[in-house]
Amino acid sequence: MHDQRRRREPGETLFGFVLLLMSLAVMAEGHRLRGFEEVSAPGITPLAAGVVMAISALVIILRTRTLVPTEAGFATRIAPRDIALSVLMIAIYMALLEPIGFHIATFAFLSALILYLRRGGPASPLRGLGFALLLALVSVVAVHVVFRMVFTVVLPQGWMLRSILPPGWLL
């Protein structure tokens, strides 16, 4: 993903402008904290960082505009279905972590994502499902043993489960 490519990625110019806006926001915070007034003000470093960001963003935008654009669209190059769906699954997984707990949420997330990413492989759909479920189960057990039991990390237990199951049942 280096800059050796000769073509402009879809959405790259817009991204440059987003970065420029971020730079201006950083500069504004520096200004609010008296960055322009005193050399030892709390805003001096944010202001300096904002200026460097803004100049760099301008250079990046100008250079990007000289590149020949790729023919493929944003949905093909930057956010293809695999990426978009994976991000969506991660977001759902995170949202479910506290309600249903780490173990069930992780099992469901791993099964679903492995099954999705391995689609179209040489294995039959049933074998693929079996593999995904088994791997997800083994992974959840392994994470529980290593992180809960060895590293004593407190994993989310799930407030929904807590209201259903008796206390001794929770991992």
Partner 1 sequence: MGFFLLSWLDPSLLMLTAAGTLAGIYIGAIPGLSVTMAASILISFTFAWEVNAALALIAGVFTGGVYGGSRSAILLNIPGAPAAIASALDGYPLARRGEAGVAIGLSTVMSVLGGFIGVIALAVAAPVISEFALLFAPRDYLLLAVMGLLLVGTLSGESLAKGLFAGALGIALGMVGLDPMTAEGRFTLGTVQLMAGIPYVAAMIGFFGVSEALVQLHNLRVKPVKQDVSRIIPPWRLIRKYLPLSLRSSLIGVVIGALPGTGGDIAALMAYDQAKRTVKNPSRPFGEGAYEGLIAPESANNAAVGGAYVPMLTLGIPGDAVTAVILGALFIHGLKPGPMLMIETPHLFWFTVGNLALANIFLLVFGLTGIRAFAKLVECPPSVLIPLILVLSVVGTYSIQNSVVDVYFMLGFGIFGYLLKMYGFQVGPVILGMILGPMIDVSWRRAVISVGDDLGFLVEEAVASPLTMVLMAFMAFLLLSQVKWRALGRRLRS
Residues near partner 1 (CB under 8 A) are 1-5, 9, 12, 15, 19, 22-23, 26, 29, 33, 38-40, 42-46, 49-50, 52-53, 56-57, 59-60, 63, 77-78, 80, 82-83, 86-87, 90-91, 93-94, 97-98, 102, 106, 109-110, 113-114, 117-118, 121, 135, 139, 143, 147, 151-156
Q: Angle, nearest 10°, between helix axes 12-32 and 44-66?
A: 160
Minimum CB distance to partner 1 smaller for 142 or for 165? 142
- Name every residue whose Cβ is closer than 8 Å to that of residue 171 and which is 6 or more positions away in sequence: 101, 103, 144, 148, 155, 157
Residues 98 and 158 sit within 8 Å (Cβ to Cβ): yes
Shortest Cβ distance from residue 129 to partner 1 (Å)? Answer: 14
Rounded Cα distance between 54 and 45, Å, is 14
Least separation in angstroms between CB 171 and partner 1: 14
Closer CB to partner 1, 2 or 163, in the complex: 2
Nearest to 89 by CA among 63, 122, 115: 115
